[in-house]
Amino acid sequence: MKQILKVRQLGLDRYLKAKLHAGWMMACLVLVMLLPFILGVGLLLKSEMLIRDHSLLDLIFSKEWKPLSGEFGFYPFIVSSLWVTAAALLIAGPVCLLTAIHLTQYAKKYVLRIMHPVIDILAGIPSVIYGVWGILVIVPWISNYLGPFFGKTTSGYTILAGAIVLAIMIIPFILNILIEIFRNVPDELSEASLALGATRWQTIKFVLLKKSTPGIISTFGLGISRAFGETIAVLMVVGNVAIVPDGLFQPGYPLPALIANNYGEMLSIPSYDSALMFAALILFVVVIVFNLFARALIIRTDKHN
């Protein structure tokens, strides 16, 4: 009888422990799922004053930024953010994709073992170091050489400088993920393609890349989100002039730089504080839209594959 009670007690203890573990894991899952909603609601509430006093269309599409006069046009900052992000991805995307293909398909194994710590070091360098490097190297190079080569007179503090620095910053982030995606493609698929007479490049093009398309889309979606919100390094080299840029050799003023430059000293002005929170809300919404678009593209690609 005692043995039966002991067994029952052990069974009850295991059941309670299982329920407890399942409960706190579910609580953590719910918290993670609620975090974006909590962040969005918080930013919306902090932006309420500005949204209440101004038309949403005027805030987004107006070019006038005169906070002390009550004019809050975010169009120059949104366009600058898009310029810097798009240019950075155009620079970093091909470099990361071709490097990942070479490291996983052509290079010797020891090359990948050497490159992994190099990529980790690049990813771990503080963003302010990239910013200082941009000021010392990229800005003078654009001002003295690249600008005059294209017939442009510029100080070097431009959209292009921000894009180059940002591209170098996101390369290790994108490259690391792409390497893991390509390494997880089954070797049997490539071997079957080669056995049928396909060349190495044909195998990469029609097997590796096709199989990895959802992962590649997801990686570049994450890269865009990461690039769009980068602050310090871009702030140091992009010029921070509130105009609508019409080219890579124009200065810009991305949304993260606007927040970083003004948040703190302008907290005493309620309308200015609300405007900076609205800038953060725009960033938040853009990143969510990018991620949802990437997710929809991944689902569509999976169906076609």
For 236, residues 6+ apart whose C-beta sits below 8 A from its C-beta are 128, 131, 132, 134, 135
**Quick one: pLDDT at residue 10?**
59
The pLDDT tens digits for 53-89 are: 888 888 888 888 888 777 888 999 999 999 999 999 9
Q: Are 182 and 175 a contacting pair, CB within 8 Å?
A: no
- Asked which of 8-22, 86-100, 157-171 is least confident by mean pLDDT, the reply is 8-22
**Quick one: pLDDT at residue 8?**
60
Q: Which residue has the higher pLDDT, 293 or 142?
A: 142
**Quick one: pLDDT at residue 4?**
57
**Quick one: pLDDT at residue 237?**
92
Decide if pLDDT at 280 tops 80: yes
Helix (H, G, I), strand (E, B) or coil at 181: helix
Instruction: List, as one string, the DSSP characters of 212-270.
Output: HHHHHHHHHHHHHHHHHT--HHHHHHSB---S---STTS-B--HHHHHHHHTTTTTTSH
Decide if pLDDT at 109 tops 90: no
Q: Which residue has the higher pLDDT, 268 or 212?
A: 212
**Quick one: pLDDT at residue 217?**
85
**Quick one: pLDDT at residue 297?**
77
The pLDDT tens digits for 111-145 are: 888 888 888 888 888 888 999 999 999 999 999 99
For 181, residues 6+ apart whose C-beta sits below 8 A from its C-beta are 100, 212, 215, 216, 219
Mean of pLDDT over the chain: 85
Counting residues of the chain whose pLDDT is more than 70, the rounded percentage is 92
The pLDDT tens digits for 172-231 are: 989 998 998 898 888 888 888 888 888 888 888 888 888 888 888 888 888 888 888 887
**Residue 11 CB coordination number (10 Å):** 10
Structure tokens at 105: 């398909």
User: Which H/E stretch holds residue 66?
Assistant: strand 65-66
Decide if pLDDT at 1 tops 60: no
Residues 32-56: what's their mean pLDDT? 87
Residues 247-266: what's their mean pLDDT? 85
Global pTM? 0.86
**Quick one: pLDDT at residue 211?**
86
Decide if pLDDT at 265 tops 70: no
Counting residues of the chain whose pLDDT is more than 90, the rounded percentage is 25
**Quick one: pLDDT at residue 12?**
63
